[in-house]
Structure 1
Amino acid sequence: MSLFILCAFALLAGFIDAVAGGGGLIQLPPLLILQKDVAPALVLGTNKFAAVTGTATAAVNYNRRVKVNWRIIGPGMLSAALCSWLGARAVSLIRPELFRPIMLLLIIAMAIYTFKRKDFGSTARETKASVRPMPYVLGFCGLIGFYDGIFGPGTGSLLMFAFVGILGFDFLQASASTKIINVTTNVAALVQFLSAGQIIWHLALPMAVCNIVGGIIGSRMALAKGSKFVRVIFLVVVVGVILRYGYDIVQSML
């Protein structure tokens, strides 16, 4: 019964993550609840394995239909991967909890801005940064990659907002680009979990299959319905991230 529940959540997580990121908000909590007697590293490794497979599948689907600017995304991948690795190494030096209030304020600001500007991300546009994008791409991919390595939640939302707000991508282009960057940063963490044997295979494999199916459905629906649909799901995910951070902060104060 627990495997069926986990697979159902993995399917939904793959769908949501393929459209607008945030699948971890859906997939990880039931794993933590149903595997509460298992070491946290095993739970995180299992979650990461399932998530990476779905994200990679969605990235391939997007790359077939959405024109990806590899001259921008390629360096962004390298910057994000390097800084994600640095962030993972800095975990012992910086308390991840310090990021929660900062991230909560940032995500709230993103939600308000996106909600108020109805045309935000509906079509691609030229911005000051899009004329000479490289410094901006290296900068925000590096910063978000570092955050992903040291803490993680909300990374996809941050990347999507940066691609739309800074480089003028529409939400569909931003979602495709975000998936590629996310795969890069997550693979490094997955390698660590694999080398340490921190994956529960009898859960990870069926969850991965369901996450892949969700990723295929989500990416196809996003491609069919376009940027307006992605924008709506993005706002739903952002609200979920806000509630998650708010809950964590309140719990830490009790």
Structure 2
Amino acid sequence: MELSFELLSILFIVASAAGFIDAMAGGGGLLTLPALLAAGVPPTQALATNKLQSSFGSFSASWYFIRNGIVSLKEMRLAIACTFVGSAVGAEAVQHIDAGILTSLIPILLIAISVYFLLMPKTTQTEGKTKMPEALFAFSVGGGIGFYDGFFGPGTGSIFTVCFVALGHFGLVEATARTKVLNFTSNIAALLFFVLAGLPIWELGLVMAVGGFIGARLGAKVVVTKGQKWIRPLVITMSMLMALKLLWEQHQQWILSVF
């Protein structure tokens, strides 16, 4: 495909906006993946290229949170390891397993996440003790959601965040920071498999990566300064938008026939 300056500029802007949103609430792929498909990138290459650019954005946000002392890699090492393995297994499995059943369940999960964040009481910004034992949390949440991200992907950030809030005494700022570390881990693991298969379009991915990196850095800064005031409504909004998008894709003909 021809990579014109106009196309690269548009995708750069889209990736910047997606990185900003993704750093705070997840769901940046809701912008970047459709943009790649609209640009004429074949689906499998679009998925791989999207993983390439999103890895830079999630790294940018993670590094900002780590550098500012909001999250410790040492404390998360077991969860990081489980997430990496889970994502690698998921990326391999998606090449052999029909994702149809999982796809149909995700909109329901995303709507449930939106309702949870809408109704949950305001959390504090201080760290508390984890309700679930660390090892169990790492294996179940890290490994399970890591597998899902490698296998399918939409809503990974929102799902990680709600687990850190619901299964631990984490405020939304720290939950978001930990989410980006694990999201980066799962992105890298899945990307390795796509690279080995020769799927990413590097010129597109790297241009979008620069935009995503800048946007994610700005988004991470907003998380630190604005905190829960911005994160909660964005998580709700992005979860609902992703759920509606997936429902539309799955049931488009039925919806059109009704209306």
Given the two structures, how large is their TM-score scaled by the length of structure 2? 0.88
SS at match of 1:129: coil
Q: What is the letter of the counterpart of residue 56 of structure 2?
A: T
Query: Could you tell me how far apart the structure 2 residues matched to 1:106 and 1:208 are?
Result: 28
Q: Which runs of 4+ in 1 moved over 3 A?
A: 69-72, 121-128, 251-254
Q: Name the residue aligned to 1:207.
A: 208
- Taking a change above 3 Å as real, the CA distance of residues 92 and 52 of structure 1, as seen in their structure-2 partners, is closer
Residue 34 (structure 2) pairs with residue 32 (structure 1): no
Given the two structures, how large is their TM-score scaled by the length of structure 1? 0.90
Q: Name the residue aligned to 2:60.
A: 57
Q: Name the residue aligned to 1:137.
A: 138
- 8 A Cα contact 2:83 2:147, kept in partner: yes
- 8 A Cα contact 1:46 1:198, kept in partner: yes
Q: Name the residue aligned to 1:100.
A: 103
Aligned residues: 250
- Taking a change above 3 Å as real, the CA distance of residues 74 and 224 of structure 1, as seen in their structure-2 partners, is same
Q: Name the residue aligned to 1:188.
A: 189
Query: Could you tell me how far apart the structure 2 residues matched to 1:154 and 1:24 are?
Result: 9
Q: Which structure 2 residue ranges, 5 or more long, are not aligned? A: 1-5
1:22, distance to aligned residue in structure 2 (A): 1.2
- Taking a change above 3 Å as real, the CA distance of residues 129 and 69 of structure 1, as seen in their structure-2 partners, is farther
Q: Name the residue aligned to 2:26.
A: 21
Q: Is 236-245 or 52-61 further displaced after alignment?
A: 236-245
Residue 6 (structure 2) pairs with residue 6 (structure 1): no
Query: Could you tell me how far apart the structure 1 residues matched to 2:127 and 2:202 are?
Result: 45
- Taking a change above 3 Å as real, the CA distance of residues 123 and 67 of structure 1, as seen in their structure-2 partners, is closer
Query: Could you tell me how far apart the structure 1 residues matched to 2:75 and 2:111 are?
Result: 28
Residue 203 (structure 2) pairs with residue 170 (structure 1): no
Q: Which structure 1 residue ranges, 5 or more long, are not aligned? A: none
Percent identity of equivalent pairs? 34
Q: Name the residue aligned to 1:110.
A: 113
- 8 A Cα contact 1:83 1:142, kept in partner: yes
CA-atom RMSD in angstroms: 2.1
1:2, distance to aligned residue in structure 2 (A): 2.1
Q: Is 15-24 or 109-118 further displaced after alignment?
A: 109-118
- 8 A Cα contact 2:79 2:142, kept in partner: yes
Query: Could you tell me how far apart the structure 1 residues matched to 2:190 and 2:66 are?
Result: 23
- 8 A Cα contact 1:222 1:229, kept in partner: yes
Q: Name the residue aligned to 1:217.
A: 218
1:227, distance to aligned residue in structure 2 (A): 2.3
Query: Could you tell me how far apart the structure 2 residues matched to 1:190 and 1:67 are?
Result: 26
- 8 A Cα contact 1:122 1:228, kept in partner: no
Q: Name the residue aligned to 2:153.
A: 152
Once the two structures are superposed, residues 152-182 of structure 1 have per-residue CA deviations (whole angstroms, 9 ceiling, x without a partner) of 1111111000001101211111111111111
- 8 A Cα contact 1:129 1:136, kept in partner: no
- Taking a change above 3 Å as real, the CA distance of residues 216 and 67 of structure 1, as seen in their structure-2 partners, is closer
- 8 A Cα contact 1:10 1:211, kept in partner: yes
- Which aligned pairs between 1:85-96 and structure 2 lie closer than 5 A? 85-96=88-99
- 8 A Cα contact 2:114 2:235, kept in partner: no
Once the two structures are superposed, residues 23-49 of structure 1 have per-residue CA deviations (whole angstroms, 9 ceiling, x without a partner) of 1111110110112xx433322222221
Query: Could you tell me how far apart the structure 2 residues matched to 1:243 and 1:122 are?
Result: 30
1:69, distance to aligned residue in structure 2 (A): 4.2
SS at match of 2:131: helix
